[in-house]
Amino acid sequence: MKKILFAASEGNPFIKTGGLADVVGALPKYLDSKKFDVRVILPKYLCIQEKDKTNMSHVTEFYADMPRGREYIGIDKVKAEGITYYFIDNEYYFAGDNPYNQIFEDVNKFAFYSRAVLASLPHINFCPDIIHCHDWQAALIPVFLKEFYGNDPFFKDTRTVMTIHNQKFQGRWRIDDIENCRDLPADCRYKAMEAYKETNFLKAGILYADRVTTVSETYAKEIKYPEGGEGLEGVMREVSGKLSGIVNGIDYEEYNAMKDPVLAAPFGLRNIAQKKKNKEMLQKELGLKPDKGVMLIGMVSRLTEQKGFDLVNYVMEEMLTTMNVQVAVLGTGEERFENSFRYFQDKYPEQLSATIGYSEERAHMIYGGADAFLMPSQFEPCGLSQLISMRYGTIPIVRETGGLKDTVEAYNEIWQTGTGFSFANYDAKEMLQIIRYAYDVFQNHSKDWKMMMKRCMKTDHSWQNSAAKYEKLYLELAG
């Protein structure tokens, strides 16, 4: 049995700020427990809910020599859904009311976390065959493993996988100001870790890891070029021999229209007409005008330029005044987009609802009640929202980038194939054109729309498929 350790800065159900937590919380459950002993190690943030901390048991504590002196490391653990979770405890680094604070605090925090993960493993008597590191916060684990533990018999068979969930976030800071990296060799600090005269955690992890993955096949190609590489495109081309893309999945138990307690009417392929009741409930909940004939478009997202909201902002007035559509928005982000949605909500209260904030319950209501789901991202490493929307028969309208291109098949009216609508260029008029096309199909070809809803619901984007690819990767690497 191969031993796998997931190392990440967040993971469901304990701490979540985004899609990373969903992956870390879901993927381990879908790996074959007969072949893999999978465990997860996270920071023990002060902001983790007390009910979760109460369930943890103390494993051990010790001190380790680090550049700032002897550092305290406590280890707690808990079992959730069959998976053992370990937590690195140190109040100096993990205090605060959220997992991420100022950048300077974060680079030192996660450099400590990476060192503490490796220092902890002999104390908990768990020697992983694979340490699966997620994003820049865990990217120094492959670096410290090779630089500090290269001759340690305990780690002689340990290999590393580095997964990039979003290459835009790299862990960059002034080279000499990261205390917990000062004892690394100069060749590492000023070469492998350096990019554009700054320390770059992600670059270091990419170079030192045994294998590198991204969260979709298309994104693995896009990051090799300036448009998607975020300054690291040359590094990605250099490591292309160990780079691959594996698309994320979603938890089919959490997102199940037949069992979702939030929905007014559970539904499936056999009673898909029941979805209309959820649309009615959503309109009522959001204060939108009750209208069975309107095309209700949902958006659950961070309100940022990356997610395409400058395009949405540009066409919203025309969309609301020239088509019988309603829009339901849920999310937080850049102030300009939050204010824009507040403006449109005030101007068109029966057509647009903007919930500035986040509610898991309301998110499920939008996925379950909307007719279409708009996701016009500038770039999208994988994306989970389009997968969730398809699970609920809510047809995605997306830009052809990253995981959106890999998971949404464009509608073909001749052959009656496809699971959504897509446009290629990052252009507001092109997006509006494809929204009009979707609107025409919805209004004038209801039979074809219903068939597409069913194709969406039949498409398998569960974690089983993705987990099988990770299992193959682990076995290739660990032997």
Do 32 and 100 lie in one domain? The reply is: yes
Do 228 and 316 lie in one domain? The reply is: no
Q: What is the dihedral of CA 333, 337, 338, 340, to 10 degrees?
A: 180
Do 336 and 244 lie in one domain? The reply is: no
Q: Is residue 312 part of a domain?
A: yes
- Residue whose C-alpha is closest to residue 22's, from 380, 359, 383: 383
Residue 251 has pLDDT above 90, yes or no: no
Q: Is residue 151 part of a domain?
A: yes
Paired sense of beta strands 243-245 and 352-356, if any: unpaired
Report the mean per-residue pLDDT for the chain: 96
Do 389 and 473 lie in one domain? The reply is: no
Q: Is residue 266 part of a domain?
A: no
- CB burial of residue 118 (10 Å; 0-12, 13-18, 19+): buried
**What average pLDDT score do residues 264-274 get?**
95
Share of the chain above pLDDT 90, in %: 95
H or E element that contains 249: none
- Residue whose C-alpha is closest to residue 262's, from 398, 139, 159, 360: 360
Specify the CATH number for the domain of residue 436.
Answer: 3.40.50.2000
Do 277 and 239 lie in one domain? The reply is: no
Q: Is residue 114 part of a domain?
A: yes
pLDDT digits (tens, 9 = 90+) for 186-217: 999 999 999 999 999 999 999 999 999 999 99
Do 205 and 301 lie in one domain? The reply is: no
Residue 104 has pLDDT above 80, yes or no: no
Do 204 and 282 lie in one domain? The reply is: no
Q: Is residue 295 part of a domain?
A: yes
- Residue whose C-alpha is closest to residue 116's, from 69, 79, 71, 54: 71
pLDDT digits (tens, 9 = 90+) for 31-84: 999 999 999 999 999 999 999 999 999 999 999 999 999 999 999 999 999 999
Do 80 and 202 lie in one domain? The reply is: yes
pLDDT digits (tens, 9 = 90+) for 290-322: 999 999 999 999 999 999 999 999 999 999 999
Residue 102 has pLDDT above 70, yes or no: no
Instruction: Provide the 10 A C-beta neighbour count for residue 92.
Output: 11
- Residue whose C-alpha is closest to residue 385's, from 301, 468, 462, 324: 301
Do 326 and 416 lie in one domain? The reply is: yes
Question: Under 8 Å CB-to-CB from 442, ≥6 apart: which residues?
Answer: 295, 371, 372, 449
Task: Write down the pLDDT at residue 469.
Answer: 96
H or E element that contains 375: strand 372-375
Task: Write down the pLDDT at residue 194.
Answer: 95
The two three-digit tokens of residue 168, written as one number: 């835009």
Q: What is the dihedral of CA 21, 158, 244, 418, to 10 degrees?
A: -40
Q: Is residue 172 part of a domain?
A: yes
Q: Is residue 141 part of a domain?
A: yes
Question: Under 8 Å CB-to-CB from 190, ≥6 apart: which residues?
Answer: 175
Alpha helices in 214-322 (DSSP H): 217-222, 226-229, 233-238, 275-286, 309-322
Q: Is residue 257 part of a domain?
A: no
Residue 243's beta-bridge partner residues? 212
Instruction: Report the helix count and the strand count for the chain, using DSSP H and E.
Output: 19, 18
Exposure on the CB side of residue 279, measured as CA atoms within 13 A: 24
Residue 103 has pLDDT above 70, yes or no: no
Residue 459 to residue 456: CA distance in whole angstroms? 5
Distances (CA, A) of 293 to 99, 179, 290, 456: 44, 61, 9, 21
Share of the chain above pLDDT 70, in %: 99
pLDDT digits (tens, 9 = 90+) for 322-377: 999 999 999 999 999 999 999 999 999 999 999 999 898 999 999 999 999 999 99
CB 28 within 8 A of CB 38: yes
Residue 130 has pLDDT above 80, yes or no: yes
Do 326 and 229 lie in one domain? The reply is: no
Residue 414 has pLDDT above 70, yes or no: yes
Question: What is the edge-to-edge ordering of all strands in the sheet holding 130-134?
Answer: 57-66, 69-80, 83-89, 36-43, 2-7, 130-134, 159-164, 211-214, 243-245
Do 446 and 471 lie in one domain? The reply is: no
CB 97 within 8 A of CB 47: yes
Give the domain range for residue 36. Answer: 2-249+464-478
- Residue whose C-alpha is closest to residue 52's, from 60, 61, 62, 44: 44
Residue 236 has pLDDT above 80, yes or no: yes
Task: Write down the pLDDT at residue 105.
Answer: 79
Do 216 and 342 lie in one domain? The reply is: no
pTM, two decimals, is: 0.92
- Residue whose C-alpha is closest to residue 243's, from 263, 218, 278, 260: 218
Number of domains in the chain: 2
Task: Write down the pLDDT at residue 255.
Answer: 93
Distances (CA, A) of 70 to 2, 66, 89, 116, 338: 33, 6, 14, 12, 45
